[in-house]
Amino acid sequence: MANIKKIRDTITAKEFQHLINYLEADTTIRASRKDRLNKMFHLLWEFGLRVNECVQITPSMLIKLLEQSQLKIVAHKQKREKVIYLTKKGRKIIQSIFTDLEPSDNFIFVSERGSKNQPLQPNSVIRDLNSYLSVVFQNKKVSSHSFRKSLCSSLLNDYNIAPTTVQQIMGHSSIQSTFIYSQVSDQNIMNSLELVR
């Protein structure tokens, strides 16, 4: 029983906005934690990254992404390169949130007591994110991975993006990983048939 994987819910755009509004209005947490959560939630939402990929991002990397609209990072799960793509809307959001990018800093997400030479540990970040998400979404099973699942599911199921394209966006090493997020409904089937018949 211990090996049963917990299925997490996706987060809709409306729910993401609720999360950000809740966070902005929250007076119970320190300003530094609020800023860290806000930045992390936006990176997870915009790019569908894993937390361990987010904590490795440096200010220089974000500056390069803003300049070139693409950034190669090492996807830690597969230990291989993947590309982050920045949309026009994403650019505005990233520019509005990351106003304090200093290229000389080593990492964006650092411990309050630590130096900028060491990133936060992914497991502690995941615990913090999941703890906050459980407060905001008390009637849903969401986690830090829900942002990634939401992007992948939305691309496949709402916008009918080709699985091979979604595979590249998400950095999946296998198309089988991408297909896990595909949920074909009767309505999807009917809509597809309506296009050709």
Beta-bridge partner residues of 82: 73
Which residue did the predictor score with more confidence, 108 or 189? 108
pLDDT of 142 reads 96
Residue 67 token pair = 């300049």
pLDDT of 6 reads 54
End-to-end CA distance of the chain: 47
pLDDT of 52 reads 92
Which residue did the predictor score with more confidence, 4 or 135? 135
The span from the CA of 169 to the CA of 126, in Å, is 22
**In the chain, count of helices (H) and strands (E)?**
10, 2
Beta-bridge partner residues of 73: 82
Q: How far is CA 140 from CA 9, 30, 46, 155, in A?
A: 7, 25, 21, 21
HEC per residue, 41-105 = HHHHHHHCCCHHHHCCCCHHHHHHHHHHCEEEEEECCCCEEEEEECCHHHHHHHHHHCCCCCCCC
pLDDT of 2 reads 47
Tens-digit pLDDT profile for residues 5-36: 555 789 999 999 999 999 999 999 999 999 99
Tens-digit pLDDT profile for residues 103-152: 887 888 887 665 666 778 899 999 999 999 999 999 999 999 999 999 99
Tens-digit pLDDT profile for residues 64-76: 999 999 999 987 6
